[in-house]
Structure 1
Amino acid sequence: GGPVGWPAARASAPVIRHSLRPMADGRLSYREEVLRLLLEKARPRFGDCELQFTGLVPQARAFSELENGRLDLCAAMTDVDRERRAVPVRYCLYRGLLGLRVGLGLPETVKRLESVDSLEALRAVRFGLVQDWPDYAIQRAAGLQVVRLATVSSGVARLRLGGFDLLPVGAVEADDVALEFELAKVWRWGLIYPTAFYFFVSPQQPQLAERLKHGFEVALHDGSFDALFGRFVE
């Protein structure tokens, strides 16, 4: 990515190495749009900086790389272990809406499962979750049937082969994931639990955490974060 701030950033501008996944069509992802907004809002106080995409990194590895300083920033759902290993910027990018999980599956499976209306029926559904997502532990602890996945894309391949019934994803990202993998969406029910999705910063970059916190405060105060979030959820 190029410099954030003035068109010509100073040669000494710090480089922020991140693992935010770009959109398949080349557009900025919502997460990177938020990051760029915060950096722009923080620029008058903290100066210019430059973004560098390091490539897609599984979440478990991302936190190891934050710890050892090979990565400066990632975005992820929070849990106790992650907040111990990296510095959370405690403003939820999705205003808590990732805690509403919507099931995606094959059209015939979704049609059959739309009628789930009890805990007993829910516990008969086989959910597939990526093993390093906090949701994996949350849903297992709730007594649900959870199949362990390595990645979303390999999980969808297993879904098509009947390895499990539904892939639960955050309501705010369900349409994009359904479109990308040509899956149907359960409309009549979902799973809900409190959670937050934060930017996490390497413990070796405390000033970056302060830069982002300040940027969030400015963007919330002037309404620009709400405007960006509103466009995203439309």
Structure 2
Amino acid sequence: MYQHYLLLLLFLGVFSSGLSASTQLIYPQPAQESDSDYPQVLLAKALQTAGLDYQFIPSQDPIVQSRALRQLEANDGIDVVWTMTSIEREKHLLPVRIPIFKGLYGWRLLMIKPASQTKLNQIDTVSALATIPLLQGQGWPDTYVLQANGLRVSGTPQTQDLFDMLLRDRGIAFPRSILEIWTEQENYQSDLVVEKQLALFYPTAMYFFFRPTDTKLAAGIESGLKQMLANGEFDRLFTAYHQQAIDKARLFERKVLPLWNPLLPQLTPLEQERYWYRP
């Protein structure tokens, strides 16, 4: 984590020093301190690679994602947001269609209480999983995906409340991405564990989003990211931040249950193999 912090300081320093006359590019300061700074580092490097002259700075106060998206669309103090794509979001905002996490947020493991492992050992199909009550955030895109596949889902909007529900046996399992679940499990020690046998997968992409009028900026970021993919810098950063979580997930040893994502726009570049992580 300290290495990642130094990377962020390095890239932000490149874009904040001596650029007082440059156009500001304001991103939402994460609402949770535990959020990775990977998107900021990646975006700053893409700006540098594309030769774009912007002062890349966080918002003055932390902003939750739903509010950040509203402010971006309204041109109200936010110039870029990274978030999951959906048909609705692409109607109102301009995506750079390069999945910055290579689809890792669509790879989900189950957070459970230790005693639930025996019950989940019997699950090997999506239809069998439908017998297990799952928890997920109310209004989250992931909830719609799970429900569209016939799974039983309940929950509330707040992540912390969902963990409390799991501890109180209001659900058997809480699907979390492989990038989230390890840190979260450490917070609960032996009260909650990562289920050992299963993985859920549905195609999804997290993009950088801009206002529809910011076509030149979006095109520049796309150019920078493509150059980074070509010269290996994208994969270097991706590996530095995420390889440990990927290794711990042992996806190649798990029974993968594929799910349909009804929210995925038709223009999602699924045919671009280098854009996606494959176990």
Q: 8 Å contact 2:23–2:53 — kept in the other structure?
A: no
Deviation at 1:51, TM superposition (A): 1.4
- Which residue in 2 is equivalent to 1:66? 72
Q: 8 Å contact 1:110–1:185 — kept in the other structure?
A: no
Change in Cα spacing, 1:165 to 1:55, as seen in structure 2 (3 Å) is: farther
> Does 2:221 correspond to 1:212?
yes
Q: 8 Å contact 1:74–1:201 — kept in the other structure?
A: yes
> Does 2:41 correspond to 1:33?
yes
Hey, what's the Cα distance between the residues in 2 that align with 1:12 and 1:20?
A: 22
Aligned sequence identity (%): 24
- Which residue in 2 is equivalent to 1:122? 129
Deviation at 1:17, TM superposition (A): 2.0
Give 1:45-84 correspondences, 5 Å limit.
46-70=52-76, 71-84=78-91
1:165 to 172, 192, 199: 172
1:132 to 139, 142, 150: 139
- Which residue in 2 is equivalent to 1:225? 234
Change in Cα spacing, 1:227 to 1:154, as seen in structure 2 (3 Å) is: same
2:156 to 133, 139, 149: 149
- Which residue in 1 is equivalent to 2:112? 105
- Which residue in 2 is equivalent to 1:189? 198
Q: 8 Å contact 1:34–1:228 — kept in the other structure?
A: yes
Structure ranking higher on relative contact order (CA contacts 8 Å, 6+ apart): 1
Change in Cα spacing, 1:184 to 1:62, as seen in structure 2 (3 Å) is: same
Report the 3-state secondary structure (helix = DSSP H, G, I; strand = E; otherwise coil) of the residue aligned with 2:46.
helix
Q: 8 Å contact 1:127–1:166 — kept in the other structure?
A: yes
Which residues of structure 2 form unaligned runs of 5+?
1-7, 244-279
The amino acid that maps onto 2:71 is E
Moved over 6 A (4+): none
Deviation at 1:84, TM superposition (A): 0.9
1:88 to 79, 85, 95: 95
Hey, what's the Cα distance between the residues in 2 that align with 1:223 and 1:22?
A: 31
Report the 3-state secondary structure (helix = DSSP H, G, I; strand = E; otherwise coil) of the residue aligned with 1:159.
helix
Give the stretch that moved more between structures: 33-42 or 90-99. 33-42
Deviation at 1:206, TM superposition (A): 3.2
Report the 3-state secondary structure (helix = DSSP H, G, I; strand = E; otherwise coil) of the residue aligned with 1:102.
strand
Give the stretch that moved more between structures: 183-192 or 115-124. 115-124
Report the 3-state secondary structure (helix = DSSP H, G, I; strand = E; otherwise coil) of the residue aligned with 1:95.
coil
Deviation at 1:54, TM superposition (A): 4.8
Q: 8 Å contact 1:122–1:144 — kept in the other structure?
A: yes
Give the stretch that moved more between structures: 224-233 or 50-59. 50-59
Q: 8 Å contact 1:114–1:186 — kept in the other structure?
A: no
Hey, what's the Cα distance between the residues in 2 that align with 1:89 and 1:4?
A: 24
Hey, what's the Cα distance between the residues in 1 that align with 2:126 and 2:214?
A: 45
Report the 3-state secondary structure (helix = DSSP H, G, I; strand = E; otherwise coil) of the residue aligned with 2:175.
strand
Hey, what's the Cα distance between the residues in 2 that align with 1:23 and 1:37?
A: 23
How many residues are matched?
231
Change in Cα spacing, 1:58 to 1:125, as seen in structure 2 (3 Å) is: farther
Deviation at 1:53, TM superposition (A): 3.2
Structure 1, residues 37-66: CA drift from partner, whole Å, max 9, x if none?
222222x2x224221235443433332222
Hey, what's the Cα distance between the residues in 2 that align with 1:18 and 1:7?
A: 14
Change in Cα spacing, 1:16 to 1:132, as seen in structure 2 (3 Å) is: farther
The amino acid that maps onto 1:59 is Q
Report the 3-state secondary structure (helix = DSSP H, G, I; strand = E; otherwise coil) of the residue aligned with 1:130.
coil
Hey, what's the Cα distance between the residues in 1 that align with 2:165 and 2:181?
A: 19
TM-score by length of 2: 0.73
Hey, what's the Cα distance between the residues in 1 that align with 2:125 and 2:66?
A: 34
